[in-house]
Amino acid sequence: MKKLSRPAKKKAEAPIAPFTGFPKEGIRFLKQLRNHNDREWFLEHKEDYEKFLLEPSRSFVEAMRPYLRKISPHLVIQPKMGGSISRIYRDTRFTNDKSPYKTYVSFLFWDKRGDRVSSPAFYMGLDWTGISMGCGVWQFTKLQRDLFRDRITTSGSAEEFRKMVKAMKKGAKDFELRGKELKRIPRGFDPEHFNADFLMHNGLMASKEEDPSADIHTAKFAARIGKQLLSTKPVFDWIHQLNQSAALRGPAFLERLRDEMD
């Protein structure tokens, strides 16, 4: 009788070291990967990726934990690739660019009360050209978009949205509210409304970019990024409230809203 083999044990992850910055070797690896974006080169230098980028990334996620917990206990903070650390492998199924690897490192901390697409999330990305960071939803679902338009133009909730925008401009001066994609105000809405410009948004993000900075190679980098993301909390809170309203209103709300717009 053939014996059943036991499943192989998963390799235990190494303990996470304190964050001391992203090594210069890691940034150099990303720049070299741009010129050698193929499987053979990557496999030859995979140890460099793991030592100078993946391990510091795990440490960075842990260093962000106390700042993110000040924002919400519901944020997903997973110090692993495929968790809060983006996979380095590109999805090339729907693009003409078949380069197999990303030439940047990015992080995502999303609200587990929803999914990764519609939940407000904090992100940070870096490569040799600089840093990007922010908070929000990149692309609204159709339900979110319809409810967003309703809330920013309805008396009461429209004023609350304007207060949030003002709070962002005061507390997170270097961040810009983005997500505008349309060229015209959607049909049926007042183009003179004080929130009319936001009606052309299909998403809502507070984001900013920075040139490369020396502190990226030091432990102070995580603290600086954490404090800056903390300043975008008003956007996180407002979108969470939007999602709660969407869950409560559901299909009946959408049917009424479409009837009013026709």
Task: Give the DSSP letter string of 166-230.
Answer: HHHHHH-TT-EEEEE--SSPPTTS-TTSTTGGGGGEEEEEEEEEE---GGGGSTHHHHHHHHHHH
* Helices (H), ranges, the chain: 24-35, 39-44, 46-49, 55-71, 142-151, 157-171, 220-230, 233-261
Residue 256 included in any domain? no
Q: What is the pLDDT of residue 227?
A: 95
pTM value is 0.86
CA 206 to CA 226: how far, in whole Å?
Answer: 14
Q: By C-alpha distance, which of 199, 83, 181, 172 is closest to 138? A: 181
Number of domains in the chain: 1
The CATH number linked to 246 is 3.30.930.20
CA 9 to CA 126: how far, in whole Å?
Answer: 34
Residue 13 included in any domain? no
Mean pLDDT of the chain: 90
CA 187 to CA 249: how far, in whole Å?
Answer: 22
Map residue 261 onto helix, strand or coil: helix
Residue 87 included in any domain? yes
> Using 50, 70 and 90 to split pLDDT, how confident is the model at 249?
low
Q: What is the pLDDT of residue 191?
A: 94
112-159 tens-digit pLDDT: 988 788 899 999 999 999 999 999 999 998 888 999 999 999 999 999
pLDDT for 250 beyond 90: no
Q: What is the pLDDT of residue 161?
A: 97
Q: What is the pLDDT of residue 259?
A: 55
Q: What is the pLDDT of residue 138?
A: 93
| Neighbour-count burial of 60, counting CB atoms closer than 10 A to its CB (0-12 exposed, 13-18 middle, 19+ buried) | buried
Residue 111 included in any domain? yes
Find the range with the poorest average confidence among 57-66, 187-196, 247-256: 247-256
Which residue range is the domain that position 142 belongs to?
24-251
> Using 50, 70 and 90 to split pLDDT, how confident is the model at 244?
confident
97-111 tens-digit pLDDT: 899 999 999 999 999
Q: What is the pLDDT of residue 5?
A: 58
Q: What is the pLDDT of residue 260?
A: 45
Residue 42 included in any domain? yes
Q: What is the pLDDT of residue 3?
A: 57
> Using 50, 70 and 90 to split pLDDT, how confident is the model at 245?
confident
> Using 50, 70 and 90 to split pLDDT, how confident is the model at 252?
low
Residue 246 included in any domain? yes
How large is the average pLDDT for residues 195-220? Answer: 95
58 touches 119 (CB < 8 A)? no
Residue 14 included in any domain? no
262 touches 254 (CB < 8 A)? no
CA 165 to CA 160: how far, in whole Å?
Answer: 9
Residue 18 included in any domain? no
Q: What is the pLDDT of residue 115?
A: 79
32-47 tens-digit pLDDT: 999 999 999 999 999 9
Q: What is the pLDDT of residue 113?
A: 87
Q: What is the pLDDT of residue 251?
A: 60
186-202 tens-digit pLDDT: 999 999 999 999 999 99
